[in-house]
Structure 1
Amino acid sequence: MKIKYWSLIILVTVSFSCKKLTEIFPKDEDNTSNTTNPNADVNSWIFDEMKNYYLWENQMVAKTASDNKLAPADYFESILVKPGDLDRFSWIEEDVEALTASLQGINKVVGIRFTPFYANTEKTKVALSVAYSLKGSPAEKAGIKRGDFIVKVNGQDLTSENYSAAFSPDNLKFTLGDYNGSEIVANSKTVDVVKAEVQTNPIQHYSIIEKGNKKIGYLVYLQFLTKYDADIRNVFKEFKSKGVNELVLDLRYNGGGYISSSDIISSLIVKNLKPGTLMSKQEWNTQMTSAYKSKYGNDVFDTDWLNESNNLGSLNRVFVLTSKGTASASELVINNLKPYMDVILIGDNTYGKNVGSITLSDDKKRWKWGMQPIVLRTVNSLGQSDYGTKDGFTPTFKVTDNAIPFMPFGDVNETLLSVAIQQITGVAASSSNANARIKGIKKVDVLNSAYPLENPKLEIRDMYIEKLPGQK
């Protein structure tokens, strides 16, 4: 069972066992058991862990005032502080192993992200405009690509009520559609796909666009995954070797990932990189702050700039393409860079998540539950962290990404990229070299501008660390 708040957008750490935590902060053994209340022991564990690490632990109800007869997921929710308001993000999962795999970008999926919109003027039908197919996914192997329209799933017309649940079966048949000048209608093409376990490759696209004396590096990055740190360094190595002097970082579809990977990308981009100087800080609750500083020193929560040899060096600014799905580690990169260079945001407001959590599981293996309580807040080198509201970062240029069909990544006429290119060159993008599909462009009424995944339960926007503060 999974408890979600709002879009289940989280900032998380990889799963640390309680043993590792208690090596730093020893706790009394809890040898209690209860045969009359089957939830007593797990709920007691939930409360004790929350009381230790929760960012707002000083506002929690007293343990004796909590209802420990509730099911664990309901109990967890009952002890949160102002859920949906102050705490929009803490959550709990029945299977911590499945959770960990998901955080590492491994899921059983078809492998698409899309924008749902009304397909006809009566608003009785919905079509899905594919934003991308994951590399190596069943969708990509079946030939589904960015800009395609899906109008039926397993023979059923899509509506505003059913499109979110339409992808539930493992075996799916998609009916594709065409734009006929006024609406999206089904064509004769169908595609059969079967869900499979897929490892996300976050480097969805990169290219260099040359405009006069401008060499514009363009990168579509889906998730901050350490498995691909070497690959992202190689992308920037190529950018640097080919003289890239402007950068467009497309984070529309990026809900976060490993903090260490976001630190790498920040250090590859920042102007006048100074390794070893302060990049950002974490703020924990009073108890954890005192304990960590006592054991490791006052700078235990500091993160410094990295010595990245492929730092682009001379950038004065960076353009970031954003959406309501741009969250957590993506927002951290934006906040890291703001004190050092112009960060120009194009698109929609970001999600607004400047707090983070750790994965807590039972080291005694008595149950599989894993928790993601909010335990920290992040600030940049100037102590700034003013985007942690439902409005997130406000874009410099507000652009609605509702022109269909979607242009290919790197197409100079693509809705958001074209705005960045115009700001860089001072010249509007020309349709003369655009993909032929440009002729069919239409503005549509979008139902969800955060580019939902095929399975809403996998919509986890995350930022997680490999090591606790002070651990090398």
Structure 2
Amino acid sequence: MKKILGLLLITIILSCSDKDDDAFVYPKESTVQNFMWQGLNLWYFWQADAPNLGDDRFATNDDYVDYLESYTDPEEFFYQTCYNHSNVVGSSSAIDRFSFVEDDYETLVNSLSGVTKSNGLEFGLARNEGSTDLFGYVRYIIPNSNASTKDIARGDIFTRVNGVQLTDSNYISLLFGNSDTYTLGMADISGTVVTDNDKEVTLTKSAGLQEDPILVAKTVEVNGTKIAYLMYNGFTSSYNEQLNTVFGQFKSAGATELVLDLRYNPGGSVNSSRLLASMVYGTNTSELYVRQRWNDKIQSMLNKEQLEDYFANKTDSGTALNSLNLSKVYILATGSSASASELVMNGLAPYVNVFHIGETTRGKNEFSVTMVDDIDNDYIYRSDRENKINPSNRWAMQPLMGRNENSEGFSDYTSGLTPDVALAEDLADLGILGDVDEPLFARAIQEITGVTAKRDFSVKIPVNEVSNSKMFTAIKDNMYLDKPVDITFQ
């Protein structure tokens, strides 16, 4: 038996009598495909349902090699091998919408820590109904980035990149292609019409930009009620201590209500979601937050303690958690709110009145783990084993491995979590994040105070979003498991 300690995402204790790797011989040219198949066959959530991942799929070694060699592109191999994946042609109602691969594991691992190559411009892409032309709108600017030094701000509109109109067919190459520098052609909104203007803004991406997910944290007093507001844009584990400090500040300010703004938060660390939920609700470590559901191979090997995550009373560094001990929380969430954002909402629901303002969320209820070609660790990435990764294969997978259900057993929100108050962002009036007059925050304040605002909450230009900048980072809308788990394969 091998004992492996200090794992970044998963800890495993193995006896290797069930190594499928020993069953097949494969050519060097299929090294990446073999890594992908072996890892998916063991860990993938839908392994039993995927036609090409069955334990008895290949009668002979030649059959296996033929399958590996049938795809020369590893990315295509991955998506075709997964179960009914959205990247596969014809899978419009895909079961697996979120598993993905990255051709360099370091890029993915850095993204999990919030480190990316970026110019600091966070934006959404939208279209006018019936048109293939797109326009971008600035959501926010990451502090200390290239964009933070330029004349561009939240609410600004752009329609062109390097003089070319953005469309359905070219926006990926123009905004997320190989060039690190591009020039945006700006535009104005008049009524409901987007009109180009002569202003241009040139931005340059740089490596190593680390985004603090805590964009805005403040306490405001409205009609005698102290309301904490937190704009939190990613569940990044390296910022858990800072998050706890913010809640300490809320407590010191006497906040009795919380507006948690997750409108642009695509997810991240499961453990960070557990800590945040504890800061909202309480630190009773005997109360269940979420429970994991793995594939049949893995589920049967885990005990109750391994499968269940309880509310926390301290950070991973041992700092006592600052909790507001709320019975109700107001959450701003949209279609860009996914995975760990939804997990907080679902995990809190049995204990707290979660009042959701915004739009239906993304509907991502599965977690994943980073996988690399480290056969002796059953392909699970661990930071202190990078010298054990096959040097001829830098590919990484982030396949869905399971689902998280709340203490009542609910996890069926693949269609998203619907709001209590439906309110889309208005491109004609995005407002200032954290300002009491910003529409979504203002609507939450109205709900908290019971005082009907004189303002009009009608939306002139609702966001008809096509995509956004976070979907083109390596982490995308991933929810990754970072809880140590011990598994023994018999």
- TM-score range (shorter-chain normalised) is 0.7 to 0.9
Distance 1:156 1:68, change over 3 A: closer
CA shift, 1:161, in A, is: 4.6
Residue correspondence of structure 1 range 42-441 to structure 2 within 5 A: 42-61=32-51, 62=54, 63-64=57-58, 67-69=67-69, 70-71=71-72, 72-84=74-86, 85-117=94-126, 126-159=134-167, 161-167=169-175, 168=177, 169-181=179-191, 183-197=193-207, 198-270=209-281, 272-293=282-303, 298-308=304-314, 309-363=320-374, 364-365=389-390, 366-387=392-413, 389=414, 391-429=415-453
Match of residue 435 from structure 1: none
Any conservation in 1 of the 2:427–2:463 contact (CA below 8 Å)? no
**In 2, distance between residues paired with 1:336 and 1:100?**
26
1:53 to 1:126, Cα distance in 2 relative to 1, 3 A: closer
Q: In 2, distance between residues paired with 1:96 and 1:237?
A: 36
Q: Is the 8 A contact 2:425 2:462 kept in 1?
A: no
- Per-residue CA distance 1:401-458 (angstroms, 9 max, x = gap): 13424211122222211211111112234569xxxxx9xx9722644166x1177365
Give the residue type in structure 2 aligned to 1:448: E
The one-letter amino acid paired with 2:360 is: N
- 1:54 partner letter: Y
Question: SS in structure 1 opposite 2:275?
Answer: helix
Instruction: Give the letter for the 1:172 counterpart.
Output: Y
* Cα distance in 2 between the residues matched to 1:334 and 1:25: 39
Q: Deviations over 1:134-184 (max 9, x none)?
A: 122211122422122224322334445544443233112223333445634
Cα distance change of structure 1 residues 269 and 233 upon mapping to structure 2, 3 Å threshold: same
The range that moved more, 213-222 or 356-365, is 356-365
1:399: Cα distance to partner?
1.1
Deviates more, 1:173-182 or 1:214-223: 173-182
Letter in 1 for 2:345: I
Deviation by residue 1:52-81 (Cα, 9 ceiling, x = unmatched): 112222223343266221233222223222
SS at match of 2:298: helix
Q: Supply the RMSD in Å over aligned alpha carbons.
A: 2.9
Aligned residues of 1:268 and 1:310 also touching (Cα < 8 A): yes
Aligned-partner residue type, residue 450 of structure 2: G
Q: Distance in 1 between matches of 2:17 and 2:399?
A: 20
Distance 1:310 1:367, change over 3 A: closer
Give the unaligned 5+ runs of structure 2: 1-6, 87-93, 315-319, 375-388
Specify whether residues 151 and 273 from structure 1 end up closer, same or farther in structure 2 by C-alpha distance, changes over 3 A only.
Answer: same
**TM-score, normalised via structure 1 length:** 0.84
CA displacement 1:15-68 (0-9 Å, x = unmatched): 769xx6464666546396545x722x4333322222211222222334326622
Q: Which residue of 2 aligns with 1:460?
A: 476
Q: Which amino acid aligns with 2:394?
A: K
Map Cα deviations across residues 89-141 of structure 1 (whole Å, 9 max, x no partner). Answer: 2222222121211222221122222233458x996864422111112221112
> Shift of the alpha carbon at 1:237?
0.6
Q: Within 2, Cα distance between the matches of 1:249 and 1:269?
A: 9
Partner of residue 9, structure 1: none
Letter in 2 for 1:283: R
Percent identical: 32
